[in-house]
Amino acid sequence: QPVLTQSSSASASLGSSVKLTCTLSSGHSSSIIAWHQQQPGKAPRYLMNLEGSGSYIKGSGVPDRFSGSRSGADRYLTISNLQSEDEADYYCETWDSNTRVFGGGTKLTVL
């Protein structure tokens, strides 16, 4: 079963860019993942899926400021031109053998 590792917190200034990381465990470095955003007090929102090739497809209505990339077992979510509404928890998700797995989440603070 895969394990997804995320940093617990990150911070960046308004208008800047930030790159969040989700690391896949050994043996799962080519897996597809999904990124989700959860604003305070709200339900999660699907942002995108990110394939092992590094290509990504965003969900409906997700701003162009959000993009994905990869390097080896690492999957990245980059947010450009940070806005106050981007302050949220960000989770990655993957699956294997009909078991779904979430990372522990990264709390993003916009300074």
Partner 1 sequence: EVQLVESGGGLEQPGGSLRLSCAASGFTFSSYAMSWVRQAPGKGLDWVSSVSGSGSNTYYADSVKGRFTISRDNSKNTLYLQMNSLRAEDTAVYYCARLVAAGSDCWGQGTLVTVSS
- At its nearest, how many Å lie between partner 1 and the CB of residue 62? 11
Q: Which residues pair with 67 in a beta bridge?
A: 78
Q: CB within 8 A of 102, min separation 6: which ones?
A: 4, 91, 92, 93
| Per-residue contact string for residues 5-44; x = within reach of partner 1 by CB under 8 A | ---------------------------xxx-x-x----xx
In the chain, the amino acid numbered 9 is: S
| Per-residue contact string for residues 47-76; x = within reach of partner 1 by CB under 8 A | --x-------x-x-----------------
Q: How many residues does the chain have?
A: 111
Cβ burial of 98 (10 Å; 0-12, 13-18, 19+) is exposed
Please choose, out of 12-20, 62-70, 74-82, 89-97, the segment that lies near partner 1 by the rule CB under 8 A. 89-97
Q: Does 79 bind partner 1 (CB under 8 A)?
A: no
Whole-angstrom distance, CA of residue 108 vs CA of residue 29: 25
- The residue (of 81 and 107) whose beta carbon lies closer to partner 1 is 107
Q: Which two tokens stand for residue 104?
A: 């522990």
Footprint of partner 1 (CB under 8 A): 32-34, 36, 38, 43-46, 49, 57, 59, 89, 91, 93-95, 98-105
